[in-house]
Structure 1
Amino acid sequence: MKAYSCEVIEIKTILFTGGGSAGHVTVNLALIPKFVDMGWDVKYLGSTHGIEKELIKQTTNVEYLSISTGKLRRYLDLENLKDPFRVIKGIYQAYRLIKAMKPDVVFSKGGFVSVPVVLGAWMNRVPIIIHESDITPGLANRIAMPFASKICATFPEAKEHMKSDKALYVGAIIREELKSGSAIKGMTFCDFTRNKPIIMCMGGSLGSQRINEILRRNLDDLLSRFQIVHICGKGQIDQSYLTYRGYKQFEYVYGELVDMLAMSDIVISRAGSNSIFEFLSLKKPMLLIPLSREASRGDQVLNALSFKSSGYCEVLLEEDMDDISFKEAIHSVFENRFEMIERMNKSENDNAITKVMQIITANSL
């Protein structure tokens, strides 16, 4: 008589979190398909109405769950009085959800929604891996770090600011689909031609009113030499510019972004870490206008200066920006774009995704 054995294959579960801006989601979007392909059960815990929900909806085989969350504001607002109660509620909700789903590991990209998730995971004794994109950690990650098993850093300098033996330098995680863009598709989508070079301008996933205003104020001059695609942020489309030839504006783009990047000669952007490393991977010369130290903790200024020291970009500080300096900086980037691309070609391209996946797998239950 033959003996038959029934082997039980254990399916592991990974819970992702992070949100509030696209920068707190893009790393997760790069990792999620890898774990889906490996047969893991992938879940995402975010806010009810945050941008992370919209972005994760574009993926497949991922269950999205939501919790109550507050916002870590740097300005006075009556909502600050309500937020501690929202966070406490979110911690309770995250604890209950995590207890029920029993994930093997939690991967947190940061942002205010991640704090209740990290605390809920820690109370359930689930290993937590944190990712920090900037040179200095954000407030949410600073709160979460004591509860983490490992902290993955994008910049080598970040380990000095974290002062933790949990911190590991992994490099920049880049979405593979970014390199699949078609310049022809991008130009067709924007109704552009090959007759003039193309600038992509974006002020982060939430947009930048200051950048939007100065760009539009100087459109007539700039359009004499360039075509411009402008990702201006939710609610910031200006109807009076819809008829301008060679200028296209969008609140936000999803699938078309890879094609728009492929067609662009230079990029004007804030200096969020995920975005600028994506531009670096695509060899796109940059004009970086970081959020000022008054409007943030100064992380974007440090990111931009690090890239400038490597010769990948020009930096225009917001407090120094006026019509003249803005146009001069754009023309400088364009004139020096080939030297910037040459330096980008020499940049190291470590396989950060593989490193992070190994860290996650090694620290799962």
Structure 2
Amino acid sequence: MARILFVGGGSIGHIAPSVAVAHALKRIAPDTRVLFVCGPREEEKQFLSAEGWEPHILHAPRFSCSFPLRFPRVYLQAHRLLKELKPDGIFSKGGYISVPLCLAAHRRRIPIVLHESDVVNGYANRLVARWAHHVCLGFPMATRGDARRTFTGNPLRPAVTQGSTEEGLRLAKFTNRSRPVLLVMGGSQGSLALNRYVAEHAAELLSVFDILHVTGQGKTGIEPKPDGYWPTPFAQKEMPHLYATADIALSRAGMNTITELAANKIPTVLMPLRGVAHDHQEKNARAIETMGGCIVVEESDADAQLFSILTHLWDNLPRRRALIESSRHLWVPDAAVQIAHIIMESLA
């Protein structure tokens, strides 16, 4: 019986794809023992518990000035964890949590399969890619003849595309279906900039749209809550129903979220978060914009342009259909199964 250790953390964007692959792995190899390691964030532990997995916790340092001082202790902790869990293979979804564990696995000659969702590698994945047996790519890009790299797409849990419009409307208590529904989401941690925009432009937005708003834990949107507005700090089981209900979306530009929106055929306006992790959100958004799969608005232009962009998009059915058609290539329905097979092949 193979034992596969899944590692990744820092956001739900690192966790949710791993869950999709873990379930696919159990389907194709039911005797496989699946184990998870994540960071100490409560939302990561809760997400995994809700999906049926109880994670081990690794307190890895983020990349900062203190990283060289803190890394040796966490590296030894990773070695102890590997000795305890005895995995036959590692699946790494990236994030700072993956570096000490994957380095320890590499030193122990445990095969590593890495998945990179974004258009550009982050610091952690650049390091882990050096040690990986195979690198799976979430974005369709040239593999430059490298046999270790395969475009698989970004793995999604099947439930993500199985939502119910009726259930979404019931959750939000939207009884008037004469208005389009705008889904606003800033990723698993929310976005202060998107929340601020929604709050400051509430009157004009609500003159056209009903709004579903995933604000992020500890963050707020429109207060007091008006009719036609449904906020939630986080959505897991509810998220497929929100997707099924949405007519258009306004989102940050993490690749997992973008893939979920594409899979649900939701025309999307992206406002990328700038200046973090090699500016990966900007690069994601611009690459998809070049494909014709989204509209991009910069945070600095939101107040002047965003409401007009959203209303023009809703008024232009051919434009919405074109965005859906161009973005559909981002979703590979069997991505999780492809990756699961690659993991099992790495053990041979």
Gaps of 5+ in 1: 1-10, 74-79
SS at match of 1:25: helix
- Displacement after TM superposition at 1:39 (Å): 2.3
- Displacement after TM superposition at 1:16 (Å): 0.2
Compared CA separation, residues 345 and 337, structure 1 to 2 (3 A):
same
- Displacement after TM superposition at 1:314 (Å): 1.0
TM-score (norm 1): 0.88
Q: Whole-Å Cα distance in 1 between the matches of residues 308 and 319 of structure 2?
A: 17
Q: Whole-Å Cα distance in 2 between the matches of residues 108 and 337 of structure 1?
A: 40
Q: Whole-Å Cα distance in 2 between the matches of residues 360 and 154 of structure 1?
A: 16
SS at match of 1:44: strand
Q: How does 1:1-365 map to 2 (within 5 A)?
A: 11-37=1-27, 38-60=30-52, 62-72=53-63, 80-81=65-66, 83-157=67-141, 159=143, 165-193=147-175, 194-238=177-221, 241-292=223-274, 294-321=275-302, 323-342=303-322, 344-345=324-325, 347-348=328-329, 350=332, 351-364=334-347
Q: Whole-Å Cα distance in 2 between the matches of residues 124 and 336 of structure 1?
A: 57
TM-score (norm 2): 0.92
- Displacement after TM superposition at 1:296 (Å): 4.3
- Displacement after TM superposition at 1:204 (Å): 1.3
Compared CA separation, residues 320 and 342, structure 1 to 2 (3 A):
closer
- Number of equivalences: 342
Q: Whole-Å Cα distance in 1 between the matches of residues 276 and 122 of structure 2?
A: 13
Q: Whole-Å Cα distance in 2 between the matches of residues 266 and 281 of structure 1?
A: 13
Conservation of the 8 A alpha-carbon contact between 2:292 and 2:322: no
Which structure has more relative contact order (CA 8 Å, sep 6+)? It is 2
Aligned-residue RMSD, C-alpha: 2.0
- Displacement after TM superposition at 1:229 (Å): 1.1
- 4+ runs deviating over 6 angstroms: none
Conservation of the 8 A alpha-carbon contact between 2:252 and 2:281: yes
**Partner AA of 1:364 in structure 2:** L
- Displacement after TM superposition at 1:142 (Å): 0.8
- Displacement after TM superposition at 1:337 (Å): 4.7
- Displacement after TM superposition at 1:277 (Å): 1.2
Compared CA separation, residues 54 and 84, structure 1 to 2 (3 A):
farther
SS at match of 2:231: strand
Compared CA separation, residues 64 and 155, structure 1 to 2 (3 A):
same
Q: Whole-Å Cα distance in 1 between the matches of residues 269 and 250 of structure 2?
A: 5
Compared CA separation, residues 243 and 101, structure 1 to 2 (3 A):
closer
Conservation of the 8 A alpha-carbon contact between 1:47 and 1:113: yes
Q: Whole-Å Cα distance in 2 between the matches of residues 330 and 223 of structure 1?
A: 12
- Displacement after TM superposition at 1:92 (Å): 1.1
Conservation of the 8 A alpha-carbon contact between 2:123 and 2:277: no
Aligned-pair identity in percent equals 31
Conservation of the 8 A alpha-carbon contact between 1:312 and 1:341: no
Q: Which has the larger radius of gyration?
A: 1
- Displacement after TM superposition at 1:211 (Å): 1.3
Gaps of 5+ in 2: none
